[in-house]
Amino acid sequence: MRADRRMLVDSHVNLHAEAFAEDRDAVVARARAAGIVRMIAVCARLSEMEEVVAAAAPYEDVFPTLGAHPHHAKDRPGVAADEIVALARDAGAVAIGETGLDFHYDHSPHPVQKEAFRKQIAIAKELQKPLVVHTRSAPQETLQILREEQAQDVGGIIHCFSEDAPFAAAALDLGFVSSFSGIVTFKKAVAVHEAALKQPADALLVETDAPYLAPMPKRGKRNEPAYVAYTAARIAELRGEDPEALAHTTYQNALRIFGIEE
Ligand SMILES: [Zn+2]
C-alpha cells in the first residue's frame, strides 16, 4: 500500500492545534503536494473559535467549522447561539461542530454534553449547515438526539468513525455519512473495517483528525493532512476498489456535503 497523488479532501483536521504552531505552512504545502486539495479545519472549543478561523484564513483550500467538542461542552456554557451564528456567517464556516457525545472520557457531565449537542443542532439548522458529530461510547444516545432534534434537516458527518456497520446504517438513515480516519488502517479495528466495506460509496468520507491518530504506516507519529491518502488507500483495499476511483468518490462526497465548490 502506498499513498499516491490523488485528489482527496481531509474532512477533519485540527489545524489550529499547538502541534502545528511551528510549521503550519509546511504542513499545508505537504498536503497539497500529496493531492489533498481541500481541508476542513475543525473547531473543538468555543474559546478557540477565533483561532480556528485565523488558522484557516491564509489558505484558500482550508475551510473552517465552528462548534464545541463534548469534552469541552462545559467550557463557556453561556456563549450565545447568536454569537456562533454570526461568526459562522462571517468566517464562511462550512459546518457546525465538532459536537456530539463522548461518554468514554466523560470530560463534561452527560446532561451538559447533551444540552450543548442539542443547541448546536439548532444552530446548524438555523444556518442550514451540516453537523460534524463526534460520538464515543454513546451510540444510542447520539442517534436519539439526532432524531429528536430532527438533525436530518441538515444532515452531516459522523467523524472519526469508530462504531460498527449497523450504527453507520442508522446514522445514514438520519442523513449522516461516515468519515473514516486512520483507525481503519489498524489491524484490530475489525468492526470499523466492516463498516467501511458496507458503507454506500456516496456516503463515505476520509479524514486524518490530525495531529492525532496517524494511520499506518505513520502510527505513533504526529498526524498531518497528507497522510489521509493512506486511509483512503486502505479503504479501497478493503472494498476491493480502484484506489483512484475511491479517492475521487470521497472527494466529490466531501464537496457535496460541505457545500464547497470544485
Ligand atoms: Zn472528535
SS (H, E, C) the chain: CCCCCCCEEEEEECCCCHHHCCCHHHHHHHHHHCCEEEEEECCCCHHHHHHHHHHHCCCCCEEECECCCHHHCCCCCCCCHHHHHHHHHHHCCCCEEEEEEECCCCCCCHHHHHHHHHHHHHHHHHHCCCEEEEEECCHHHHHHHHHHCCHHHCCEEECCCCCCHHHHHHHHHCCEEEEECHHHHCCCCHHHHHHHHHCCHHHEEECCCECCCCCCCCCCCCCCHHHHHHHHHHHHHHHCCCHHHHHHHHHHHHHHHHCCCC
User: What is the 197 CA–ligand 1 centroid distance (Å)?
Assistant: 22
Residue 177: predicted pLDDT = 98
User: What is the 216 CA–ligand 1 centroid distance (Å)?
Assistant: 19
d(CA 250, CA 131): 18
Is 206 within 8 Å of 232 (Cβ atoms)? Answer: yes
Given a cut of 60, is residue 1 above it in pLDDT? no
Given a cut of 50, is residue 4 above it in pLDDT? no
Residue 182: predicted pLDDT = 98
Given a cut of 80, is residue 3 above it in pLDDT? no
Is 172 within 8 Å of 143 (Cβ atoms)? Answer: no
| The C-alpha cell that represents 6 in the structure block | 490523488
User: What is the 44 CA–ligand 1 centroid distance (Å)?
Assistant: 8
Residue 83: predicted pLDDT = 85
User: What is the 203 CA–ligand 1 centroid distance (Å)?
Assistant: 19
User: What is the 90 CA–ligand 1 centroid distance (Å)?
Assistant: 24
User: What is the 134 CA–ligand 1 centroid distance (Å)?
Assistant: 5
Report the share of the chain in percent with pLDDT over 70: 96
pLDDT tens digits for range 114-171: 999 999 999 999 999 999 999 999 999 999 999 999 999 999 999 999 999 999 999 9
User: What is the 69 CA–ligand 1 centroid distance (Å)?
Assistant: 7
Given a cut of 70, is residue 70 above it in pLDDT? yes
pLDDT tens digits for range 22-64: 999 999 999 999 999 999 999 988 888 899 999 999 999 999 9
User: What is the 12 CA–ligand 1 centroid distance (Å)?
Assistant: 9
d(CA 66, CA 49): 6
Residue 163: predicted pLDDT = 98
Separation of CA 214 from chain center: 15
User: What is the 68 CA–ligand 1 centroid distance (Å)?
Assistant: 10
User: What is the 46 CA–ligand 1 centroid distance (Å)?
Assistant: 14
pTM, 2 dp: 0.95
d(CA 27, CA 47): 24
User: What is the 160 CA–ligand 1 centroid distance (Å)?
Assistant: 6
Residue 76: predicted pLDDT = 67
Is 133 within 8 Å of 103 (Cβ atoms)? Answer: no
User: What is the 196 CA–ligand 1 centroid distance (Å)?
Assistant: 18
